[in-house]
Structure 1
Amino acid sequence: MRPTLKPVSAQTIVITGATSGLGLATARLAAGRGAKLLLTARNEQALRALCEELHARGGVAAYEPADVADEAQMRAVAAKADSLYGGFDTWINNAGVGIYGKLEETPLEDQRRLFETNYWGVVNGSLVAAEHLKARAGGGAIINVGSVLSDFAIPIQGAYSASKHAVKGFTNALRMELSRDAPQIVVTLIKPGALDTPYREHARNYLGAPTKNPPPVYAAPIAAEAILYAAATPTREITVGGAGWALAVLGLVAPALTEPMLAWAIPLLSRGGEESAAVGGDALYKAGRGLRERVPYFAVRQTSLFTTAQMKPQTTAAVLFAAGAAVAMTFAAYDALRLHRVRRDTRKKVRAEIKAKG
């Protein structure tokens, strides 16, 4: 039986990495739609300020400082949701960190730390959430934020790409296991393309130059909408932005073409932007500067028809069917006209022959 999820307005939602970027955009959007929130991140001061902001707007929000890499701290977050709200309906694993640098030039200690947050943070949050949702009448949703880099890797962000591949593998395996053991729990993977978040400012940078996300860059609220859609609608996965999906398909079909292209283009497209934090001033090992949802990028895409189509599958199917029918009718009309002309020309030819023999 297909699981059902509550409307966002009737839900209690846990969000990790809630004080910056996509987590912050999602928290603000969910609070505006009436959800009760339990927010977590490493920056307690930012958490407190965010809850005060949401309260001032009429929202319901509480916080629990935590590092997602620590399972015990994730359990404390779940326990607080139980004590404040009687549990939660959706758990969003959003916290993440990044590294710019060649794999050979990135210390293994830093790569391990990145995996502690990006991969083990998702594992810790997902398993804690699954344990609680199994005991909750009606189940709920676990939403893991991966990346388009869950489907293909890029140079300069190799460790980050690897962590997001791991998130995808874990999420898919967990979904299959829960579909049998706890079918009332929905597990969704969200795969954003490049977003206009402070990611580059929080990422450790071994390139020795300012960096930016390669274009096209999408507005963070597009991904936040996708997350909240998945919170209320059973969904396997959503890719935010059509460009990343197209590149993933190209990489699957023609890797011998795609990989050399990325090897040459990504380092060039990643240059520029604002000055990155010096190594040690990033958020790899400590909390970053909070309460920044978006940062300036040139030509940020404020909408994504590809993303919207995934959130409106019936409408999209109807449009595609109508388009297909229109194409079929066009070809049928063309064939009918061509057949009419052939018959007309044949009659003319026969009459001409009869007249000539006449």
Structure 2
Amino acid sequence: MKPLSEQVVLITGASSGIGLATARAAARRGAAVVLVARTEAALSSIVEGIQAGGARAAYAVADVGVLAEVEAAAGLAVERFGRIDTWVNCAGVAIYAKLVDTPAHEHERLIETNYFGAVHGALNGVRHLRDRGGALITVGSIASDFPSPIMGAYAASKHAAKAYIESLRIEINAERLPISVTLIKPSGTNTPIAEHAANHQDGEALIPPPVYDPDLVAEAILDAAEKPRLDVTVGGVGRLQALAATHFPGLYARFGGAVAPLLSDPKRQKTTSDNLDAARAEARERSLHESGRTFSLYAPISRGPLVPVVAGLAVTLGLALLVSRKSASSGDAKTPTTLPKPRVQQKKR
């Protein structure tokens, strides 16, 4: 993996939120950045600002849900800078609604962006990285690890993207391609995503708490651009939620709905427009109304050098316990029970 200062980094969803924070941070560290999004006005002003700071930057207007447009964006990056070293899938949209109340066309559009956007990016990323090597990084969500009321469509799209990326990683490793495949799973992050969401709840849509700053996610992404990582969770509380849902699914299914009131504020005016079909021109990293934690202990721990060792030991121990239990149960089924020998009483003479 090259130092970031020697890399060309392409980032989708780069006109706002995590994508924008990552593009600016990468440029500050000397990388050439290619920003991809649907809004030319926002992209143009962002790139001008990056270039004014002395960094190299370009942009491509593309809808990640359209494969041909993603291919064209990749071609522009190669034409401008000669190659791509790191590909970051970061485009995403959201819907706040009960699943039974989610309009079909909105659901389909969300899947086009969140799932097929990741697929289209991954396909192009592999094509450009397979010879020279590099990093394919996809920003998913902690919502890919557990179900969510009100944001069920969003969670479903992130589950699908996670399965695709992890399956793709296995295939890439089987072919021994020099590509590092990373899945970044942020907890609730202080970006404009809720303000840009299709909102069918009363009041303003809110980011699932606790809320973390987008710079924490950008740091995890840029770390993965230089050092191979499997997956990184940003936000320890989100990780605890995932563990609770995994190990106590019955309780989570029964009481998980208690988080629904935390996803909207009826005292604030609800937004009436969204970015499902048309992008918003606001080039903002953060929400107008939220504030995010600027520190997360879990993120650096989850990408530390001992994580693969600990994970490997945990898997090995789990398999050993599984085998021993199967062996024990198999032995119990096949070995007949030995009855005690009857005692023979000696007659007294």
The answer to whether TM tops 0.5 is yes
The superposition leaves residues 122-142 of structure 1 with CA deviations (integer Å, 9 ceiling, x where unpaired) of 00010011011113x2x0111
Structure 2 vs 1, CA of residues 299 and 277 (structure 1 numbering), >3 Å: closer, same or farther?
Answer: closer
Offset of residue 268 of structure 1: 1.2
Q: Which runs of 4+ in 1 moved over 3 A?
A: 273-276, 296-299, 314-318
Q: Say whether residues 1:306 and 2:302 are aligned partners.
A: no
Higher helix share: 1
Provide the C-alpha distance between the structure 2 equivalents of 1:317 and 1:182, rounded to a whole number of angstroms: 21
- 1:46-65 aligned at under 5 Å gives the runs 46-65=42-61
Q: Percent identity?
A: 44
Q: Which residue of the partner structure matches residue 92 of structure 1?
A: 88
Structure 2 vs 1, CA of residues 86 and 312 (structure 1 numbering), >3 Å: closer, same or farther?
Answer: same
Q: Say whether residues 1:225 and 2:205 are aligned partners.
A: no
Q: Say whether residues 1:285 and 2:277 are aligned partners.
A: yes
Q: 2:69 aligns with which of 50, 67, 73?
A: 73
Q: Which residue of the partner structure matches residue 268 of structure 1?
A: 261
Q: 2:138 is paired with a residue of what secondary structure?
A: strand
Offset of residue 241 of structure 1: 0.3
Offset of residue 300 of structure 1: 2.5
The superposition leaves residues 21-41 of structure 1 with CA deviations (integer Å, 9 ceiling, x where unpaired) of 000110110010000011110
Offset of residue 182 of structure 1: 4.1
- 1:236-275 aligned at under 5 Å gives the runs 236-263=230-257, 265-272=258-265, 275=269
Count of matched residue pairs: 309
Q: Which residue of the partner structure matches residue 78 of structure 2?
A: 82
Q: Say whether residues 1:197 and 2:191 are aligned partners.
A: yes
Q: 1:130 is paired with a residue of what secondary structure?
A: helix
Q: Say whether residues 1:42 and 2:75 are aligned partners.
A: no
Provide the C-alpha distance between the structure 2 equivalents of 1:276 and 1:223, rounded to a whole number of angstroms: 27
Q: Say whether residues 1:149 and 2:134 are aligned partners.
A: no
The superposition leaves residues 247-297 of structure 1 with CA deviations (integer Å, 9 ceiling, x where unpaired) of 11111111111222221x22111122853421xx21000011321101255
Q: Which residue of the partner structure matches residue 327 of structure 1?
A: none
Provide the C-alpha distance between the structure 2 equivalents of 1:261 and 1:216, rounded to a whole number of angstroms: 18
Is there any run of 5+ residues in structure 1 with no aligned partner, and where?
319-358
Offset of residue 93 of structure 1: 0.4
The superposition leaves residues 139-176 of structure 1 with CA deviations (integer Å, 9 ceiling, x where unpaired) of 01110111000100110001000000001000000000
Provide the C-alpha distance between the structure 2 equivalents of 1:178 and 1:217, rounded to a whole number of angstroms: 34
Q: Which amino acid aligns with 1:83?
A: E
Provide the C-alpha distance between the structure 1 equivalents of 2:199 and 2:56, rounded to a whole number of angstroms: 37
Provide the C-alpha distance between the structure 2 equivalents of 1:254 and 1:297, rounded to a whole number of angstroms: 33
- 1:321-332 aligned at under 5 Å gives the runs none
Q: 1:234 aligns with which of 210, 215, 228?
A: 228
Provide the C-alpha distance between the structure 2 equivalents of 1:238 and 1:223, rounded to a whole number of angstroms: 9
CA contact (8 A) 2:36 2:62 kept: yes
Provide the C-alpha distance between the structure 1 equivalents of 2:290 and 2:23, rounded to a whole number of angstroms: 25
CA contact (8 A) 2:213 2:291 kept: no
Q: Which amino acid aligns with 1:114?
A: L
Q: Which residue of the partner structure matches residue 14 of structure 1?
A: 10
CA contact (8 A) 2:189 2:211 kept: yes
Provide the C-alpha distance between the structure 1 equivalents of 2:250 and 2:156, rounded to a whole number of angstroms: 20
Provide the C-alpha distance between the structure 2 equivalents of 1:53 and 1:276, rounded to a whole number of angstroms: 32
Provide the C-alpha distance between the structure 2 equivalents of 1:146 and 1:87, rounded to a whole number of angstroms: 25
* Range with bigger deviation, 190-199 or 177-186: 177-186
Please tell me the root mean square deviation across aligned C-alpha atoms, in Å: 1.7
